[in-house]
Every structure is written in C-alpha cells, then in structure tokens.
C-alpha cells in the first residue's frame, strides 16, 4: 500500500470511529444502555478502534522500512501509550506524508491539522453528550477501573 492509501485509511477510520461513537451515545440515550443495539454499537466502535490501531502500526512499519527510522521509532514508542492523543496521530500522518513525497508543504500540514481539529471537536462534543447522559460512568471509581483494564 502507498502512503496516501494509509493516509486515506487513517482519516476514514478516524471519522468512522467518531460517527460510531456518536451513534452509540444516541442509541444508549434512546434505547437504554442495556438494550441489545447499545451493545452492538459499542462493539462496532471497539472493532473500528482495533482496526485503526492496526493500520497505524502498519503505516509506521512501512515508514520505518522506507528510511525514516529515527522519527518512526519515536512515534511507535509513543503508540504504546494507552490514550490516543491527537498529536501522536498527527505526527504519524505527517511521517506518512513525508514518506510519500520529498517535500511536505505548509498547506499539507495545515490541512492535516484542520482534520485533526475537526475530529477532536466531534469527539469532544460526543464526550460532553456522554457525560450529560451517563454521569455515573465518569465517577472516580469507574475511571480507576477503566485505567486498570
């Protein structure tokens, strides 16, 4: 696969994850957290996240094999961090773009940054809705249990 293929996949999967998360929140709000559809939607989000992680690993492996090893090593060591920070995926996409061409323009960086900003804003709004609908899920005990898993 080419670097542009990976870039497209990463962007599409990130958007799909955001949309699936929004759907999960909406289904749980309307049908209840115990409804079968809520379980299916949560499963869909989990599967999209797993696929997104695998595509990121493959993209980083390909970037590393093309000669950008030092930066790819730094990014892959950050990929082991459990939380997904936007900067990590932003840098990963920049590495892929840099591998696809000899020159990365300011416009390319600006476009990728804008896409990450939009995804962050969608995720933030989803998180706010989740907090409004399910405040009990954000208690200190539940957050500690989630961190230990």
pLDDT of residue 5: 78
Mean predicted lDDT score pLDDT of the chain: 75
Q: Indicate if the pLDDT at residue 76 is higher than 70.
A: no
* 10-47: pLDDT as tens digits: 888 888 887 887 787 788 788 887 888 878 887 888 88
Residue 147 inside a domain? The answer is no
Residue 145 inside a domain? The answer is no
Q: Indicate if the pLDDT at residue 99 is higher than 80.
A: no
Q: Indicate if the pLDDT at residue 81 is higher than 50.
A: no
Tokens linked to 38: 């809520």
Residue 146 inside a domain? The answer is no
Helix 86-100 vs helix 106-133: crossing angle, to nearest 10: 150
pLDDT of residue 74: 39
Residue 149 inside a domain? The answer is no
What range defines the domain where residue 7 resides?
Answer: 3-139
pLDDT of residue 69: 42
Structural domain count, the chain: 1
């Amino acid at each position: 696969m080419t670097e542009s293929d990976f870039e497209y996949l990463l962007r599409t999967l990130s958007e799909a994850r955001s949309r699936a998360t929004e759907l999960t929140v909406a289904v749980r709000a309307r049908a209840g957290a115990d409804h079968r559809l809520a379980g299916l939607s949560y499963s869909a989000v989990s599967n999209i996240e797993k696929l997104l992680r695998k595509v990121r690993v493959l993209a980083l492996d390909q970037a590393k094999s093309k000669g950008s090893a030092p930066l790819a090593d730094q990014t892959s060591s950050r990929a082991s961090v459990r939380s997904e920070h936007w900067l990590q995926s932003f840098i990963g996409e920049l590495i892929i773009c840099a591998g696809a061409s000899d020159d990365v323009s300011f416009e390319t960086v600006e476009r990728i940054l804008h896409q990450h900003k939009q995804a962050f804003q969608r995720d933030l709004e989803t998180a706010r809705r989740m907090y409004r609908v399910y405040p009990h899920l954000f208690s200190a005990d539940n957050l500690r249990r989630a961190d230990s898993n």
